[in-house]
Structure formats: C-alpha cells, structure tokens
Structure 1
Amino acid sequence: MRTGEPLPAVGDVLALLATGLWRYDAAAGLVTLDAEAARLVGLPAEPTTLTEAGIRARFHPVDWNEVDGIVQLALAEGTIAEVRMRIMDEHGRVVRTVRSRSKPSHDPGTAKYELVGTLQEVTEPSPGAAARSPVTGDWRRSREAFLLDAGRALAEARSTQEVLRVAAGLSMPGFSPDGLAVFGAEGDRLTVVGHYGQKPGDEGPFAQMSLDTDYPAAEVVRTGRAVYLSSPEQYKARYPVSWPLAAHFGRQSWAFLPLTVAGRTMGAWMAAFKYPVAFTPDERSVLTTVARMLAQALSRAGAAETERELTDGLQRSMLPTLGPRIPGMGVAARYIPTGGGLQVGGDWYDMIQLPGGRFALTIGDVQGHDVRAAGLMGQLRIALRAYACEGHRPDAVLTRASRFLHGMTYGDDGAELRFATCLYVEVDPATGTLEIARAGHPDPAIRMADGTVLMRTTAGGLPLGIDPDADYPTTRLVLEPGETMLMCTDGLIETGGHDLDTGWRRIRRTLEEHDGDMEELADALVQAVHGPSSHHATGPLTDRREDDIAVVLLGRVAEGSGSDALATGAGPVVRRTMLTVAQAEPERVSGARQQLRELLHDWSSEEQVDSAVLLVSEMLTNVLVHTDTDALLVAEVSGDHQDRPDSTGGRRLRVEVTDASDDLPHRRHPGELASSGRGLVLTELLADAWGVDPRGEGKSTWFELYEEPTKEHEEHEGHEGHEENAEHKENAEA
C-alpha cells in the first residue's frame, strides 16, 4: 500500500488473514456467514444464512453445549466471548478446530441478544494443555464435580461465618485463590463482611470505604460488573489510587465479582492469586458460578441471622425477669422455645408484685407456635398483669382475661378463635398460702421436704378465650417450709412421645432424685426432656423442639435455712397434704385417693395403703351423702422411715376428715342386702386407732395406721437382739 491510498475493506482484510465473519440474531434464530466463515465450517466458500439447527450440525455436540454458558457470561460481564470448537464432517469426523471471538449486545427492551464475531482456524492444543482445554472432557468433568460439591457445601452453611469458611476451603479445578474477601454495602459505604488469607486487621483500610473510591470492589458494587486483573501492572494502571493498599499483599492476579441476588448487587467477592492467571472464559465461568452460589448462600445466611436476632429480641422483650427476692421464698424459671420458625411461641410465665407483700405467679400457653401466637401471648400477659394489679382475686383475674382474649381473637365468622391455658397462683409469703385458679392448664406438683412428689388436683375451668363468661373456682393450698411447687406447660410433660401420665412419671423421677437448689432443679427438669440448656434459657437453641417449654418453681425456705436450697430429708419430717371436697365436686374423691397413694409411695405395707385409701373414700363419701357441707381432708405422715439406719421407731399415718355438720356418726348393723352403714365397721377393723372429735362447729373423724415393719427390719432387730443377749451372757460369766 502506498501512502495516502485508502484502507482496504474489512472483509478483504479478514479474508487475507483467513478469518471469517459471522452474525447471529437470537430473535430470528438465524446465523449469517461470509464466504470464509462458510468455508471454515465445511460449507461452500460463499456467503450463506443458516438456521440455528443447521449451524449446530457443523460443530461437535460437546463443544456446542459450551457456547451458551460462555455467551451468557460475556453478556453478564460485558466482555468478549471466546470459545474453541471442533468442526465435524458428514461422517462425524473432526476436520479442523476453530476459535470464535464475538461481542454480544443485549436489547434492554427484550430478552434477546445479537452476536457479531470472527472465526479462525487454530492448531490442536498440545498434550500438556489437554487437561485444561475445553476441547477435551477432562477439565469439564473436573469443573462440574467441583461446582456440585461447592453448591452442596454452600447450601448447607447456616451462618455468614460458615459460608466464609466453606468459600475459603474451595479448591477450584486448575487454579485456586490464596486470598478471599467478601465486601458488602451499607448506604454509600463499602464494608468488609469477612476475609481469608490475610492477617487480622488487614481489612481496616477497606472497611467503611466510600463506593466512589477508585477501588475494584467499589466499582463492582456500583456497576454490578466483574473486574479481572491479570497482573500487578494492570492493577496499577487501572486503579492507581488504591494500588498502594493492595501492593503489600504480594498478589499477582485478582478477580472481583458481583454478588447478585434477585437482580440486586449486594456486595462483591474478591479472589486473589499469588501466581498470574489469564482468566480464560472457562476460568471466568467457574468464578462467576461460584460467585452466584456464594451470593445465594450469604443471602440465606443473612436472612437466618436476622431471623435469629428478631427471635432474641422478641424473647428478651416478652420474657420478664422474676423481680426481687421474696423473703422466705425462692423462685426459678426457664423458657425453652421450639427449634423451628421464629423460635417464639405462645408459652409464657410472669411474676407480679401485689399490695401487702404478696405476689402472683402465672404461667400459660397460647394456642399455636407462630408470630400471631407470640403477639397474643404478649397482650394476654399484659392484661393479666393489669387485672392482678387492680386488686382482683385469682378467679376474677382469669374471668376478665378470658373475656379479653375472646374479644381479641373471635372474628365475625369465628375462624380466628384462639384460646390459651393458664395457671394463676396468688402467694402469701408470710404464711405460704397459695390461692390457685386454673384455666385448662396442667395441675401443679408439690415436692415435699423429704422428696415426696404430689400432683395437686385443683379446681379449674375452660381455657381462656373460649367462653367470655366462664367461671374459674379457686383452690387454697399451703406450701409448707421446705416444699417446692412446680408449674409448667405441657411441652415439659408431653415432649418425646409421652402422654400426660408417662410424662408426669418422668418429671416425678427428676423431682425426687434431685437434691440441689432450685436453679439446678430447673436445669435438671429441662435436661431430662431436651438435654442441656443455658442458665437463663433466653437464647435460641440449635436442636429442634417439639413444643415450647415454660417452667416455674416456687419454694418455701425450710425453717432454720438461710437459702432456697431444697430439703434433703436428713432428719425427721412431717409429710402432709390437704384437700377440700365440695358437695358439688364428688369427682374429687378420686383425686383424694390418688393423693393419698402418692403420699404413701414408700410405705412398707401395700395392704395398709389399700386400707387407708378405702377408709378415706368411705369417710369423704359419708360427708357428701349424710351432710350438706363440704369435707376437708388432712393426711399426715410423721416419724422416721424404718429403713433408715438411725430410725428409732415406725411411722404413723393420721387422716382427718372435717365437716361443718354437728351430727355425729353412729355405728350400724347393716343386713346382707344393705347398701350402706359399713363405714365405721370397716374403720374399726382396718385402723389401728380411730375416733370422732366434736368441734365448735362441726366434727372431725380420724383414723391412724402404724407402719408395719418390713421383713428386713425384723431380721435386723432380731440380729441385734441376739448380739445383745450374747453380750449379757459374757458379762455374767465374767
């Protein structure tokens, strides 16, 4: 060419360089080839237009499958799409290998794109490069296996730190970074979420960096497009301002990729290498895929951590402290949420200060384990506290709370009905008197001073919220010194496949076997069901719970004790239970029989236990049938257990049934067909002592049983007597 002559046409130049030109219109699905491009794909050397299926038939199917991924990567990054492909003849033989380089352009109004590129014949790769060439299947299979493993590991990560550890441990096929960093964005600032391969504190200059800074990660967050830097010279030329910050790390190549979720760039991922990396299309494809998986994993982990933070906040706001210490009383409580969802349910407990030195304990369970249940629980707890502080009695507090919850949850069609169980206890610390009202909640249990556990039957009504006019009768109990009362929700009883009966037996064993203070007992109860929990039990647990658990323990300090430690039965104690049976509640006679059996759980003679239960049933029934008053049952076990090594005698059971009638019972002589009149006859036959004592108003009928010695105890006493006689004989002979 002479100086001043016009340049040749582009097509002529490409033809001289044995380079073909082609164009692909994705909307029409057509590929246009010039003469050289047609020759290279095995067609006559003349311009032609083929369908997508027609051009696909000219290439090796494995190579064709690579094209779409490389083009999509180039579209996402706005870079050149480069691919090496094998040309096949009509017999399926490879005739040549070509390299295509194209620039995709995307129409913002549609999802279609257009490609304009070149086609050039190249030589086959050398054997040493075969392992990493996209023409062979080895590198591809290695890459696919790596991406499957990486995707599985990232999907299982449950927190941001776990995601970062997984990303740091990824070994990419053929190239692996030695330094990683994950950047986030808060407002107009770049933040460092985490890093690996650098020393602690190295992230300082990059934290809180403005997004307008001349730094690759900031540019990626701003634009949403990846940045590849293959050499320090390239880094320094493109980002001269921030190069001094990166220079001292001694890296040779860098890749900064956007972390995009649902079309929004949430941050950037940096992969840095100590050796030069060319960032071929295959390497970029791997990095881009990992970045997408990493973004999804970080998004999931961030949502989970936000959820856990919300859970902690809800728990802290909804679970009150137990307040100041009560003289002569000790209180301990635990709340264990379920492991699913927000880990906040409808269980709650509360301690309410009342006038005159009294206080109230309440525990309950709103139906459901969702956010609505948690919200209703918070409102109901506040309502109960307000009604209690107004000075209402326990029955009035629950009646008003039921009307409140019914109005909150009952819609026009009744579809939003929610109910709640509740146990409300008003406590007088000076006397240990408990006024209990119950709304469909499990009964409390009493651990006596010697470790005996009684399930205390209390009067009750419907769960709150079902009937706005429901009535809640009260039950009065006295917590004796050294005794502890357990209140809990059904999660403590029924978790693990247990029903109410087997669940109570499990709780009874824990209560009977534990000798520590109340805080230790509260932990032991939870551990017996679910394993260890935190001391305050206000944080989320990692294992999954079947139901929420709320536990409250109220203990009356034993006389002469300066702490809330549980009594261990070290000395003689009196075991006592009281129960009122009203005329309108004959079904409570069954509860009285059960309480007496529990009181005599370690009595040596089963026949005496059966006799005591029969006599109690007769005495209570006589009051209900022959008087119009209520019956008060008081059962008391005193003395030492004969199995104790320091025992000086047997134990005594004394049972009194008091009523307000002045009519004294008389012994009758019933005939064979008579249906009554045998009560006193049985008492005289079965009791060791009995009597009827008139009172100022009413009377008291009582009986006593003296524990029969066990066989082992008799043998022990006989052995001691034999030794004593032998000793007397030796002294006489001397």
Structure 2
Amino acid sequence: MRTGEALPAAGDVLATLATGLWHWSTGNELVTVDEEAARLLGLPAERTTLTEAQARARLHPVDWNEITAVIQLAVAEGTLAEVRIRIMDEHSRVVRVVRSRSKPSFDPVKKAYEVIGTLQEVTEPGPGPSAGRRTVTGDWRRSREAFLLDAGRALAEARSTAEVLRVADGLAMPGFSPDRLAVFGVQGDRLTIIGQHGDRPGDDGPFTQMPLETDYPAAEVVRTGRAVYLSSPADYKSRYPVAWPLAQHFGRQSWAFLPLTVAGRTMGAWMAAFSHPVAFTPDERSVLTTVARMLAQALSRAGVADSERELAEGLQRSMLPSLGPRIPGMCVAARYIPTGGGLQVGGDWYDLIPLPGGRFALAIGDVQGHDVRAAGLMGQLRIALRAYAAEGHRPDAVLSRASRFLHGMAGDGADARFATCLYAEADPATGVLEIARAGHPDPAIRMADGTVMTRPTAGGLPLGIDPDADYPTTRFTLEAGETMMICTDGLIEAGGHDMESGWRRIRRILEGHLPDPDGDDLEPLADDLVQAVHGPTGSRREDDMAVLLLSRTAAGVRPGTAPRARTRRTLMSVAQDEPERIAEARQHVRELLHDWTSADQVDSAVLLVSEMVTNVLVHTDADAMLLAEVTGDKGERRLRVEVTDAGDDLPHRRRPGELASSGRGLLLIELLAESWGVDPRGEGKSIWFVLCEGA
C-alpha cells in the first residue's frame, strides 16, 4: 500500500484475516452473518440472516448455552465476551472450531441483548508441543462439561439448604478447584454467612452480620449484582483496602465473588477462594458463573422446601397432643410420622383425653387425603371429639356426633372427605375398655406371654359418610401385663404392603419385642414399630402413620385382686347378619392356640367353635358371643370356650340319620371335648367345652 492511499474497508481487512462478522439481536431473534462468517458456519459464502434456531443448529448444543452465559457475564462486568465454538455438520460431527469475540449490550427497555462480534477459525495444531496443548485443552473442555453435568444433577437433587451446602463443598472444578468456599445471604440490610467450608469454626465471625454498605467484595456483589474477580493479594488490597486485613490472614492468593441471582433478584453471593493464583480466564469465569447460577437455583428451591417443611412440622406439632402426666396403673406411648412428600402433612392423628372419675379416652384416626385440607379437617375433628367426650357421652355417641360434624364440614360433593377413627374409653382401676370403631383397623393385643392377636370389635361406617350411622360399642378388659396397639393403616401398609401382609409384619415386631417386666415402659416398643416400617430418615412415603400403645401395669391391679397369671383370651361377637365372621372366629381360636402342643386338639377346638357359633345363627334369632380362654403352664394348659346367646331354647342331643344335614353338633362336642355343658342364663344361655393340653 502506497503512502496516501485510502485504507481498505474493515470488512475487506477481516476477510483477508479469515475473520467473519456476525450480529445477533435477541429482540427479533435473528442472527446476521457476512460471507466469511457464513463460510465458517458451513453455509454458502454469502451474507445472510438466520433465525436463532437455524444458527443454533450449526453449533454444538453445549457451546450455544455457553455463549448465552458468557454474554450475560460480559454485560454484567462491562467486558468483551470470548468463547470457543464447535461447528457441526448435518450429521452432528464437529467440522471446525472457531473463536468468537464480541461486545454485547443490553437494552433494559426492550429487555434484549445486542451482540456484534467476530468469528475466526482456530488453526489445527501440527505435530509437536502445540498438539499436546490442544489435547490438554480438549480434555479440559470435556472435564468441564462432565463436571457441570454432575454438579447440576447433584444440586438439583439436594432437598434442603444443608444438602445444597454439602454438595457445594464437594464440587471439584477441573483444573482450578477452590479450597475455601462461603455462601452469603441477606437479612434485612446485613450480610450473613449461610455456610462455609475450608476454615476453622469461628473464622467467619467478622463476616457475619456485616452491613451491606461495607467495602467488602461480597457486599458489593449483593449491591450491584456483578461478579468480582481478584487474581492476586495486591489486587484485593488495592480494590478493598478496608476489607483486606480481614482476608489477609487466610493466606489465599485469588478470589472470585459471584452473585446468586434468581428471577432477576440477587439473593446472596458465593465466594470461591484459591490458595494458588488464578487468572480467571473467560473459560474459568464461565464455569464459575454456571456453578453460581445452579447454586442460586438450588438454594432457592431448598429455601422454599425448608420453609414448607418448617410450616408443616409446626402445623402438625400444634395439632398433636402431649400425652401429659403418667396415668396410675396404665402406660401410654405414641408416635406420628408424616408422609415423605409434598408438605409432609396429612390427616392422621391421635389423642389422649382426660375424663371425669380418673378415666381417660384414647382416639386415633385418619382423615382422607395428604394435604393441607386433610390436616385442617383433622384438627377440627380432633377438637370436636374432645368436646363430645368432655360432655360425658358414651363412645358410640361420641362417634355418632363426630360423624355428623364431619359430614357437615366436609360436605357431600366431589371434594367430600371421610375419616376412619377408633375411640376407646379406659378405666385404669379395672382395666375395662369400651371401644367404638368407625371404619378403622381393629386393635391388636400383646398378651402377657407374648402372644399377639387382633381384637375384633364392632364397627360402623367411616365418619362423614352417613350422618345417621350407628357405632356399636365393644367392651373387654385389658389384663395386667397386656398391651393394646391401635394404629392407622399407614403403619400397616408402609413399604408397599397390603393390610394382610402388613399385619403379619407388625405381628412379628410385637412378638419379637422383649417387654418391660413391669409393663410400664412402652417407648422402646413404639420406636421399634416405627423404625421397622417407615424406612430411612427422609425417605419418601405415600402415607403418614400414627400408632398408640396402651398397657396395664402390675401396679394397676387393685389391692386384694389377684392378677390372672398365664392367661390369654379372645372375645368376639358374631351377629345374625355376619355369618362370614364364623371364619374369623375359627382363625382367632387357631391364633390363640398357636403354640399348643397337639395339632389335632387345635383342629378339634376350631371345629367345635364353628359348630357352636353356627348353631346359634341357624337355630336362634340372637347374636353369638364367643369367649375363648387359655390358662396354666405350657404342656398342662386348659382351653375353655364359651358361646353365649340370648335365645331361650336349650340345645338337645339328636340322633341324625345318614342323610341329615344337621343335628351332629352336640355329638361332636361330646366326642372331642374333655368336658362340656349348657348353662341357662337369666336371659339366654351359654354352651361351653374344655380341652386339656396333652390329654
């Protein structure tokens, strides 16, 4: 070029240097490229305008995301944006690598970025040291991508602030891992430290409750929303002379302070400090910025989850009662475990209600659903039950009124709710329990010798379904050394069990527990039940669960009354319209004799019980009441079974013919029982038989 000649156009100079120009406007989502930039993108060498989707299709997807991050960072810091980009062909293969340098700007009115930059191909290195450098660069890029994927997955899975901080502490950035981390939050007009790693306890003292106006990097980041990079102690000292004495004694060489921004709001700052000098190249800044963005999102999600969890736990605690002072002669223990998902609230509850005369009531129930409405209805229903009990109503009346109350509260539309409930009144002096049940599982009794059986009780519909439903009452005595367990179905069905398999698991736990000799400490048993079924802490459960234990201690037996030692019994009624419960009666007798030495005697007892109960249902209009009792030491025990009904006709022996379908009941009793009899009552009668073990 001769002196005095005009300079060539900028585009001609860039074309001579194999450098293309590109312009990207996020406002209209268009990318304009000149001839050289089009060639580098694998397009015909002519000036053209592409949509964002068309431009993105030419680039490696990871690099497109990196461009977006680097541009935002450059705008925030007022610097150039530099990034390497892999160009892909139509078969998703990398055909070349280009370097982009640009000067982005942001229009706050249009809320759009304007980016003008250059594209230049990165020359493929030949043999020698440069090839080694390329390999190192490629490995670093792959390591960085793998690191960001792993970090994003780990932070996304963190469910609490503590878990997020633990994940952040364990991040090992490729090639330039920090050895000190701190996460700063904001409370009012002050900076606080949410968590830190790499220092001794107490070293963060000077940085807690620091005013936001302090000349400290993290405070400036929170105020401005822009990152601060300090590559050397001299850089730190010159920019923040007031804060430098606080940071000097930690002995670090480089620092990065990045904003934690969510939805355009800076919620805090993240500090990464290094014991070795770091230049903070565009690639390194890109990694730090991406981690800070993921960390901010994770902390925001965890903060919401922490608040919801605290709200749910506080709500549930306020609705569950304290068991209060010890009850003379009785011992009570209870547990509640919330569901593992959502707000961790549900409709399960338990209650202990003092009654006049030293008596008390136990209530346990489950409102349909696992949401805030279920928890709210549960609280209202619990208060209603307490009110009805305090008025002096019997158990059947308490549940009848509660059902009418819930029906009025929950309605009868598509969003109607119902609740199961078991309500029991107890007399500590006698051990007598009166139980009414509304669609709830039967109680289980662990007898003094370790035998565990369900205790059949009469019941009605769940509360809230029929406002006029009846709830019959079952009355029995809890003997000294016996423990009653009542629970919600969440405890039984936890871990994918159904009611049958879940009950077998609960039974094994109850049978395998070593009881307190005096029967006055149920806490270990309550812990065993919960720990055995609800899984590891923090595991997700589909249902909440509640369990309530009641035992009668030796101290609960009235003076002068000898406790019934080595006795186990079952009591149940079979109504005229419940013939299916005959099978249940047979099963209960078999469970009562689970360790009987003679299997043939067990079969005989089951057969006789079936005959006696069936005889009442067929030949009278009354219901049958079955009482089976085992007494004595093993090997010499005595079984006495009694079936009572209100009918006046006494059974009599008959001689049935070969084709007769009935009339053999008394013959079987006479043949199989050691002794038997029929006892008239004032109203009705009872028929009984006795079997002696080993006879």
For each residue in 1:653-683, what CA deviation from the matched residue of structure 2 results, as whole angstroms up to 9, or x when unmatched?
A: 2233345566544434444555544443333
Task: Name the structure 2 match of 1:718.
Answer: none
The reply on whether 1:688 has 2:674 as its aligned counterpart is: yes
Extract unaligned runs of 5+ from structure 2: 1-6, 41-45, 88-96, 517-521
Structure with larger Rg: 1
2:94 aligned residue: none
Q: Could you say which residue in structure 2 is the equivalent of 1:357?
A: 358
User: What are the superposed Cα offsets for residues 114-142 of structure 1, whole Å, 9 maximum, x if unpaired?
Assistant: 45789999999998788778996454334
What's the counterpart of residue 590 of structure 2?
Answer: 597
Structure 1, unaligned stretches of length 5 or more?
1-8, 44-48, 88-96, 533-540, 563-568, 643-649, 710-734
**In structure 2, what residue type is equivalent to 1:499?**
D
> Within 1, Cα distance between the matches of 2:623 and 2:606?
19
1:555 partner amino acid: S
Aligned partners of 1:404 and 1:76: how far apart in 2?
61
Among candidates 516, 521, 526, match of residue 525 of structure 2? 521
Provide, for residues 399-434 of structure 1, a one-character-per-residue CA deviation record: whole Å limited to 9, x for no partner. 1111111122225xx111111111111111111111
Q: Which has the higher mean CA deviation after the structures are superposed, 672-681 or 290-299?
A: 672-681
Q: Tell me, what secondary structure is at the counterpart of 1:271?
A: strand
Secondary structure of the structure 2 residue equivalent to 1:495: helix
Partner Cα distance (2:627, 2:311) in 1: 51
Q: Is the CA contact 2:31–2:50 (under 8 Å) kept in the aligned structure 1?
A: no
What residue number does 1:727 align with? Answer: none
Q: Which residue of 1 aligns with 2:90?
A: none
Distance 1:559 1:278, change over 3 A: closer
Q: In the TM superposition, what is the alpha-carbon distance from 1:276 to its structure 2 partner?
A: 3.5
Displacement after TM superposition at 1:355 (Å): 0.8
Deviation at 1:357, TM superposition (A): 0.8
Q: For the aligned residues, what is the CA RMSD?
A: 4.2
Structure 2 equivalent of residue 616 of structure 1: 609
1:577 equivalent to 2:573? Answer no
Report 1:484-503 matches (<5 A).
484-503=483-502
Does the alignment pair 1:703 with 2:676? no
Q: In 2, distance between residues paired with 1:479 and 1:639?
A: 18
Q: Take 1:86 and 1:687, find their aligned partners in 2: how far apart are those partners?
A: 92
Measure, in 1, the Cα distance between the counterparts of 2:576 and 2:416.
Answer: 34
Which is worse superposed, 481-490 or 118-127?
118-127
TM-score by length of 1: 0.78
Shift of 1:339: 2.0
Distance 2:643 2:276 in 1: 94
SS of residue matched to 1:153: helix
Question: 3-state SS of the aligned residue for 2:342?
Answer: coil
> 2:640 aligns to what?
654
Pair 1:275–1:477, CA change in 2 (3 A): same
Structure 1 counterpart of 2:243: 242
Identity of aligned residues (%): 74
Distance in structure 1 (CA, Å) of the matches to 2:660 and 2:33: 114
Distance 1:321 1:688 in 2: 51
Asked whether 1:156 is paired with 2:157, we answer yes
Is the CA contact 1:134–1:140 (under 8 Å) kept in the aligned structure 2? no
Alignment of 1:134-213 (within 5 A): 137-213=138-214
| Change in CA separation of 1:79 and 1:555 when aligned onto 2, cut-off 3 Å | same
Moved more, 168-177 or 259-268: 168-177
CA apart distance, 1:507: 2.5
Alignment of 1:10-49 (within 5 A): 24=23, 26=25
Q: 1:42 to 1:161 in 2, by over 3 A?
A: closer
CA distance in 2, matches of 1:696, 1:604: 38
Q: Which amino acid aligns with 2:604?
A: S
Letter in 1 for 2:291: V
Q: Indicate if the aligned counterparts of 1:629 and 1:661 stay in contact, CA closer than 8 A.
A: yes
Question: Residues 118, 641 of structure 1: CA spacing in aligned structure 2 closer, same or farther, 3 A cutoff?
Answer: closer
- d(CA) in 2 for partners of 1:612 and 1:152? 63
| Contact residue 20 and residue 36 of structure 2 kept, 8 A | no
Aligned to 1:270, the other structure's residue is in SS state: strand
> Any conservation in 2 of the 1:183–1:193 contact (CA below 8 Å)?
yes
Question: Which residue matches 1:258?
Answer: 259
Which string of whole-angstrom CA distances, capped at 9 and with x for unpartnered residues, describes residues 522-544 of structure 1? Answer: 23333443457xxxxxxxx3222
Are 2:487 and 1:483 aligned?
Answer: no
Contact 1:78–1:225 (CA under 8 A) maintained in structure 2: no
Q: Which moved more, 1:389-398 or 1:177-186?
A: 177-186
The alignment status of 1:558 with 2:551, answered yes or no, reads no
Post-superposition CA distance 1:665-718 (Å, at most 9, x none): 443444455554444333322222223344555544332222225xxxxxxxxx
Aligned to 2:104: 104
Q: Mean Cα displacement is larger for which, 632-641 or 257-266?
A: 632-641
User: The residue matched to 2:459 in structure 1 has which SS?
Assistant: coil
Q: Which one-letter code corresponds to 1:464 in the other structure?
A: L
1:31-50 alpha-carbon deviations (Å, 9 max, x no partner): 799xxxx999999xxxxx95
Q: Is the 8 A contact 2:455 2:571 kept in 1?
A: no
Give a deviation string over 1:622-667, Cα, whole Å, max 9, x none. 445555555543332222221xxxxxxx322223334556654443
Change in CA separation of 1:461 and 1:67 when aligned onto 2, cut-off 3 Å: closer
- Residues 152 and 589 of structure 1: CA distance in aligned 2, closer, same or farther (over 3 Å): closer
In structure 2, C-alpha distance between the alignment counterparts of 1:98 and 1:591, rounded to whole Å: 80
8 Å Cα contact 1:131/1:138 also seen in 2:
no
Provide closer, same or farther for how the CA distance between residues 199 and 275 of structure 1 changes in structure 2, counting only shifts above 3 A.
Answer: same
